[in-house]
């Protein structure tokens, strides 16, 4: 738990920064393109500094903003997205968070995804997937929601073809704009779909949390679903061409 406790402390510090101190002018400033291919905002870089301070003792960090931050003392690797959905954050849309995955011997063994907008915390380690709140010691095991009505389609704006297929099939979805965070909620919704180039920062922690769900990854299509019937229906749509 030492690593997860450090991740939670970093998130608590970042949550306080955002909700007590508030966004500053420098947080909106655009900087150079980061390792993940997107232009970094000031808040991305400040969040990264907070995580480096808390997590670097545990292993080498691969961050979306700065790339590799080395720690020669250990072979462990930490895959980090310091702000998942930073455009949402800077636009005051309440769907943004952080994503951290811990790898030992090339295998993900621990992960934490946090919704910094509402304080939801998702943790997975050898004890399983649990959900709680920032600042709370109470975490409950995540169960599949059998009453969901919609799925999540990230980057739907970039794929007219897939959008039309889902529309014709009368499949409802939302597109909130934070892929790792959406994967954390995969047990609650009908599905999570992503179409486009996938990066390690976006997917590692969420994929680890979705290990018990139906999963499809081929080309630029990534789909996870808790519902085998919905999953098979969507795969049929993708393969109909």
Question: The CATH number of the domain where 213 resides is what?
Answer: 3.40.190.80
How are beta strands 173-174 and 151-154 bridged, if at all? parallel
202 appears as a binding residue in the annotation: yes
Q: What is the pLDDT of residue 190?
A: 97
For the chain, the domain total comes to 2
> Are 159 and 40 found together in one domain?
no
Identify whether residues 133 and 17 lie together within a single domain. yes
The model's confidence at residue 40, banded by pLDDT at 50, 70 and 90, is low
If asked whether residues 6 and 121 sit together in one domain, one would say: yes
Looking at the fold, whether 7 and 123 belong to one and the same domain comes out as: yes
pLDDT band at 148 (very low <50, low <70, confident <90, very high): very high
Examine the domain organization and report whether 70 and 163 are in the same domain: no
Q: Is residue 52, in this structure, part of any structural domain at all? A: yes
Q: Are 113 and 79 in a shared domain?
A: yes
For residue 103, give the H/E element and its range: strand 97-104
Residue 87 in marked binding region: no
Range of the domain at 180: 151-238
Output the pLDDT for position 32: 60
The sign one gets for the Cα dihedral 76, 225, 129, 86 is positive
Helix (H, G, I), strand (E, B) or coil at 147: coil
Indicate whether 65 and 12 sit together in one domain.
yes
- Per-residue pLDDT band at 75 (split at 50, 70, 90): confident
Which of 90, 106, 141 is where one domain is finished? 141
State the pLDDT at residue 218: 83
- Looking at 112, 141, 170, the residue that finishes a domain is 141
In a domain, 166, yes or no: yes
Separation CA 146–CA 85 (nearest Å): 27
Looking at the structure, do residues 41 and 9 belong to the same domain, yes or no?
yes
* 198 against 230, higher pLDDT: 230
Is the domain of 91 the same as that of 190? Answer: no
Would 146 be classed as within a structural domain? no
Q: Is residue 135 domain-shared with residue 39, that is, in the same domain? A: yes
Average pLDDT rounded to a whole number, residues 81-97? 92
Taking only the tens place, the pLDDT of each residue in 169-193 is 899 999 999 999 999 999 999 999 9
Q: Is 28 helix (H, G, I), strand (E, B) or coil?
A: helix
DSSP 112-132: EEEETTT-EEEEEETTEEEEE
CATH number at residue 85: 3.30.540.10
pLDDT at 158: 80
Question: 215 and 158 share a domain?
Answer: yes
User: CB-hemisphere CA count at 13 Å for 118?
Assistant: 8
84 is in an annotated binding site: yes
- The answer to whether residue 77 scores a pLDDT higher than 90 is yes
Q: Is 70 assigned a ligand-binding role in the annotation?
A: no
Interval 98-116 mean pLDDT = 96
> What does pLDDT average to over the chain?
89
Examine the fold and report which residue of 111, 141, 171 is the final residue of a domain before the chain moves on.
Answer: 141
CA 131 to chain centre: 14
83 is in an annotated binding site: yes
Backbone torsions φ then ψ of 158, nearest 5 degrees: -100, 5
Residue with tokens 């597109």: 175
Q: What is the pLDDT of residue 103?
A: 96
pLDDT value for 150: 97
Residue 210 maps to a domain: yes
Q: How many residues are present in the chain?
A: 241
């Amino acid at each position: 738990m030492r690593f997860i406790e450090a991740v939670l402390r970093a998130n608590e510090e970042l949550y306080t920064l955002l909700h007590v101190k508030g966004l500053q002018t420098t947080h909106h400033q655009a900087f150079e393109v980061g390792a993940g291919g997107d232009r970094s905002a000031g808040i991305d870089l400040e969040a990264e500094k907070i995580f480096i301070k808390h997590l670097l003792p545990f292993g080498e960090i691969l961050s979306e903003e700065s790339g590799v931050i080395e720690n020669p003392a250990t072979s462990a690797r930490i895959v980090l997205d310091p702000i998942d959905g930073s455009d949402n954050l800077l636009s005051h849309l309440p769907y943004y968070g952080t994503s951290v995955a811990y790898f030992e011997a090339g295998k993900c063994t621990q992960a934490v995804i946090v919704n910094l907008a509402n304080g939801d915390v998702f943790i997975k380690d050898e004890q399983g997937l649990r959900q709680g709140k920032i600042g709370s010691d109470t975490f409950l095991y995540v169960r599949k929601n059998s009453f969901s009505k919609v799925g999540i389609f990230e980057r739907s704006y970039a794929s007219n073809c897939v959008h039309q297929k889902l529309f014709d099939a009368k499949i409802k979805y939302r597109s909130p704009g934070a892929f790792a965070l959406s994967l954390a909620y995969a047990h609650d919704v009908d599905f999570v779909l992503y179409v486009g180039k996938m990066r390690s920062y976006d997917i590692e922690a969420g994929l680890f949390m979705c290990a018990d769900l139906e999963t499809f990854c081929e080309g630029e299509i990534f789909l996870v679903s808790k519902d085998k019937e919905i999953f098979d229906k969507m795969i049929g749509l993708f393969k109909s061409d």
